[in-house]
Structure 1
Amino acid sequence: MSPAPPDDPFVRRRVRRPPGEELAARRRRAALLGVVGLILLIVLLRAVACGGDDEKAAKAPPQTPAERIAGSLSSTQLVGQTVIAPFRNAAPGEIPPAIRSAIRAGRIGGVILFAENASTLSTVRTLTAKLQRITRPGALNGVPLLVMTDQEGGTVRRVTDAAPRASAAVQGRGGIGVVQKAGRDSALALCSAGVTVNLAPVADIGTGVLSAAGRTYAADAPTAARATRAFTTGAHEGGIAVAVKHFPGLGRAAADTDATRVRIPTSVDTLRTQDALPFRTAIQSGAELVMLSSAIYSDLSPAPAVLSPPVISGELRGRLGFRGVTISDDLEAGAFAAASSPAQVARAASQAGVDLLLYARTTDAALAASRALTSDLRDGRLQLRTLRAAVARSIALRTRLAGTCRATR
């Protein structure tokens, strides 16, 4: 076959370029291929990332009902569910307007009752029914309020016709059966009157002011641990929750934190091996709440335990594995007299990991704390995720107690 003529349009002829043009062309082709490769790489990485997100989303556990409620709350309502308010100097069985308004706005999540509010079971029953009937905003309207009181026995007994009448010291000397019966009988009585949390038992050991007042079961850890377990078990049989107190142990205190600042120089080793034992036992027995001490434990933290992340996150949640609800002791106590305001103490406690902020003296302090923390949340000084987790724990407990307590009536 003869070669095509030189001017045949169907024949592609290679035209030699000067060396400089050929090199430039190669560089342009290489650059273009590099850009295309980079684009493909970015697309691939995005696809992998999206796939990873989808995989994480698929593996993430579904939200619980309590988590969904917590996620639906406004800043005011979310903060409010961490506040427990008192109402002192009120007529027995009556709800002051400030408390009623705060409940309606979602500014508080529960109340603490004293003998002046309701010293008999019948009066308590009437009062708690009124409290639970108050309309609350949004998803909170289906969530019962927490209603708590101190019913340890002995000198700390708010409801005069409810068990236990004997002090913790007397119960402890009577043996485990006596202590468990005290826990059960007090729970049945309180539950029948609409109280869902007993701020007991006292799990502290030692020979300090609490022991002198008969508020501890024993001075040694093993005996106190057995009694604490017995009271907790009895309370669960009666359908209510307990708040074991005062972590990491207040039994060695030489003064009362309700009145003054207290420092406990006990070593970390002793706190962990002895003082923590009754708390560990109670947690293993299903204690729903642990109350933090207002004393300072120098070897653990320079701050009061209730304001100390090393105590709450490190010792209680980390070392003891507690997954329930943390609650403060009274944040208006004499231990905090040097603080500039209730808001300052509330802020420190919340940031340290306290789920429920307890006020036992004035409604004003509780509501001031609620307002201040709401402002902090909006300004980003409180972590939204952490606060929602705390509120979800509280709401889950409140919902569950509504069922267990009702079942025992």
Structure 2
Amino acid sequence: MRHVKSIPRRQVAVLLSAAIAAAAVGAPAATAQDAPAQPAETQSTEAATMSAAASTLRGMTLEQKVGQLFVANVYGKTADTPHPKNREEFGVDTAAEVVKRYHLGGVIYFAWTDSFHNARQVAELSNGLQRAAVSSGNLPLLVSTDQEQGVVTRFGPPATQFPGSMALGASRSTEDARKAAEITGQELRAVGINQDFAPDADVNVNPANPVIGVRSFSSDPKLVSDMVAAQVRGYQGGLPTQGVSANVKHFPGHGDTDVDSHYGLPVINHTPEQWAQLDAPPFRAAIAKGVDSIMTAHIVVPKLDDSGEPSTLSPKVITGMLRGELGFRGVVYTDSLRMEGARKKHPDARLPVLALKAGVDVLLMPQYLELAINSVIDAVRTGELTERRIDESVLRILMMKLKRGILTKPFVDPAAAEKLVGNKRNQVVAQKVTDNTVTAIRNDDKLLPMRAKPGKVLVTGWSDTAATWGTASTQTLSKQLNARGVATTALTTGLRPTSQAIDSAVAAAGQNDAVVVLTNRAAKEPLQRQLLEKLAATGKPVIAVAVRDPYDAAHVDAVKTWLNTYSFSAGSMESVAKVVLGELSPKGKLPVSVPSASDPNVVRFPFGHGLTW
């Protein structure tokens, strides 16, 4: 890695002073971004921000500018905790040293990078990384994570847990979606995370989609658009230092594929007309709400670009469609450059250069950070990229950092974070939101609600047995029923139950008055379906609860009672207990159509279907 001098402190001071002045003028609330014309006060704020960003840009070296384009997944519980993966991937021992060495514009947190333990720890990690950036004369960091909620949740309890996008789509409540994003954003910002790669704007029209599914709000573009707009308002609303930058993904739309772009390169055959009607509306809605950033998809859409390049590397898609047709002026991110969908056609050294040539601004998680940074610098030195092109992206990044108060307030109070994250008020709101999402798909034998409490209930089926946080789903639901006066037995059988596990569950069913079975993608797992059929054959009342995709109910006719939660969170399990025992009437409506198991072209349960009582 080339040695680079620090940004002159005078330039940092200019930027911070202008940012503080802009903040004093008062940035408009997110709802004001809908107005067709901006007030003079807002225009003055934007002019001050632009001037400050441009002034700082003029004082940066090429190497410093290029560093701002990269986000890396650094390792360690604290900024100064040595971690072998830092040495292996970046050539230094601590996360702080990674930030200093590569002049990073941002970092991203995951559970597997040892970033999440509790609120105080995350806040102190963030402070340590910001201190490393600022003390070395660099700019404060964008600190990001993927807190979509639901199946993509990086920060578990004590952070407040919501059930995820498709569950919110089932509720049909844009206000609940906004509240979920607002609370999530405030809690993230309290621990020093200032950007969330959410919400997901994909329209999930393909039931076989292995990577999106319940991460999408719906198969209906209008419903997805409404929910995305509400969540952008929630994440980015209020004062700049209270919320986070939202990032909608995955442009131009990842909802109609049966290939996971982590492991392959999906091809989607939407025409321009289909794209405009199906995929584009949620991105248009997000842009209209002033979303700060948009993430690309590693997918090929031949009828939008016949080059064969993934959209991340496509000038037609990024510059032509996102910038030109949709008019997006914010920051464009790649999805992770470690994914096979990005790496399938080009060597790692070429990916950052091709992405920048396509119109992308930020390069997320390259496989080899030093190689990626040097490849961009070399491309400028050889003339393949101009420094002016680099400046365009850096200016957008600086503007976003200014807009969200990241440069004026990079540090957080760990004690305040402990008080805010997962507080009682937020937990109460989360449970109310979750209660609105349970969907009753079948109740053919009128088993629900159970007016008379059963004496003993077996809770079995799939469970998050490797739960990163808290108790596994079967145990959580068992405890919720037990707390309501029902004797329960929890027996987890897993994603692909063995014959022995199935036999044990059938035997246990004989010792109970009723059975509740949790399923997770049983539509794709024949052994889960076998478990359901054998439990139904016992003659005991069986209630199936699909805790992820809503397609399971069409695959096991022997079970006549089906609920869908779209989530296996503790809050969702509490909502199930309430519905089963009649404390709560189900309010959810299917946000997708459920096809027949025998003919995918025949709808078994239509969009909007949902029973109540």
Q: Same fold (TM over 0.5)?
A: yes
Compared with structure 1, are the counterparts of its residues 153 and 172 closer, same or farther at alpha carbon in structure 2 (3 Å cutoff)? Answer: same
Cα deviation for residue 165 of structure 1 reads 2.7
Matches within 5 A, 1:7-406: 64-88=51-75, 90-91=76-77, 94=81, 96=86, 97=92, 99-116=95-112, 117-119=114-116, 120-136=118-134, 141=138, 143-161=139-157, 162-174=159-171, 175-208=173-206, 209=209, 213-237=213-237, 238-301=242-305, 302-359=308-365, 362=367, 365-401=368-404, 402=406, 403=408
Task: Quote how far apart the aligned CAs of 1:346 are.
Answer: 1.1
Contact conserved, 1:203 with 1:249, CA < 8 A, in 2? Answer: yes
Code of the residue aligned with 1:305 in structure 2: it is S
Alpha-carbon separation, structure 2, partners of 1:137 and 1:75: 20
Per-residue deviation, residues 229-275 of structure 1 (Å, max 9, x unmatched): 11111111252111100011101121110111111111111112221
**One-letter code of the match for 2:223?**
T
CA contact (8 A) 2:204 2:212 kept: no
Q: Please give the alpha-carbon distance, in whole angstroms, between the structure 2 residues aligned to 1:407 and 1:194.
A: 6
Q: Distance in 1 between the 2:301 and 2:200 partners?
A: 18
For residues 216 and 357 of structure 2, the distance between their equivalents in structure 1, rounded to whole angstroms, comes to 30
Contact 2:69 2:361 in 1 (8 A): yes
1:206 Cα offset (Å): 2.4
Q: CA offset at residue 91 of structure 1? A: 4.8
Matched residue, 1:4:
none
Percentage of pairs with the same residue? 28
Residues 130 and 410 of structure 2 are in contact (CA less than 8 Å); yes or no, is this contact kept in structure 1?
A: no
Shift of 1:156: 0.5
The whole-number CA distance in structure 1 between the counterparts of 2:102 and 2:135 is 6
Look up the equivalent residue of 2:263 and give its one-letter code.
Answer: A
CA shift at 1:348, angstroms?
0.7
Q: 1: distance between equivalents of 2:379 and 2:274?
A: 37
Contact 1:75 1:378 (C-alpha < 8 Å) held by counterparts? no
Q: Which sits farther off after the overlay, 61-70 or 392-401?
A: 61-70
Structure 2 unaligned residues grouped into runs of 5+: 1-46, 87-91, 417-613
Kindly indicate which of the two structures has a greater share of residues assigned to helix: 1
RMSD over aligned Cα atoms? 2.4
How much does 1:386 deviate?
Answer: 1.4
Q: Secondary structure at the match of 1:134?
A: helix
**1:328-355 deviations in whole A, cap 9, x for unaligned?**
0011101134345321111110111110
In the alignment, is the contact (CA less than 8 A) between 1:108 and 1:370 conserved in 2?
Answer: no
User: Does structure 1 conserve the Cα–Cα contact (< 8 Å) formed by 2:166 and 2:214?
Assistant: yes
- Residues 312, 342 of structure 2: 8 Å contact kept: no
Give the corresponding residue for 1:56. Answer: none
**Count of paired positions:** 343
Deviates more, 1:335-344 or 1:390-399: 335-344
Deviation, 1:379, is: 2.0
CA deviation profile, 1:54-100 (whole Å, cap 9, x unmatched): xxxxxxx9962112222221121111110111125x45664643643
Which structure has the larger Rg? 1
**Which letter does structure 1 place at the counterpart of 2:370?**
L
Q: Deviations over 1:383-404 (max 9, x none)?
A: 1111101101101211332258
Contact 2:149 2:161 in 1 (8 A): yes
CA contact (8 A) 1:328 1:358 kept: yes
Separation of aligned partners in 2, 1:92 and 1:258: 28
Q: Is the 8 A contact 2:165 2:215 kept in 1?
A: yes
Q: Tell me the SS of whatever aligns to 2:317.
A: helix
Indicate how the Cα distance of structure 1 residues 148 and 388 shifts in structure 2: closer, same or farther if over 3 A, else same. Answer: same
**Whole-angstrom distance in 1 between the partners of 2:212 and 2:318:** 27
Q: Distance in 2 between matches of 1:276 and 1:226?
A: 13
CA distance in 2 between partners of 1:337 and 1:211 (Å): 17
**How far apart in 2 are the matches of 1:399 and 1:279?**
23
Query: Taking structure 1 as reference, are residues 187 and 281 closer, same or farther at Cα in structure 2, changes over 3 Å only?
Result: same
Q: TM-score, normalised by structure 2?
A: 0.53
- 1:255 alignment partner, SS class: coil
Deviation at 1:207, TM superposition (A): 2.8
- One-letter amino acid of the counterpart of residue 232, structure 2: T
- Structure 2: how far apart are the matches of 1:400 and 1:303? 33
Task: Give 1:195 shift.
Answer: 0.4
Q: Partner letter of residue 378 of structure 2?
A: S
1:12 alignment partner in structure 2: none
Could you tell me whether the CA contact under 8 Å between 2:97 and 2:132 is conserved in 1?
no
Where do 5+ consecutive residues of structure 1 fail to align? Answer: 1-60
**Gap change, CA 1:186 and 1:262, over 3 Å in 2:** same
* Mapped partners of 1:273, 1:405: distance in 2: 40
Relative contact order, higher structure (CA 8 A, sep 6+):
1
TM-score where L is the length of structure 1: 0.78
Aligned-partner Cα distance in 2 for 1:294–1:330: 9
CA distance in 2, matches of 1:300, 1:381: 25
**Cα distance 1:339–1:104, how it changes in 2: closer, same or farther (>3 A)?**
same
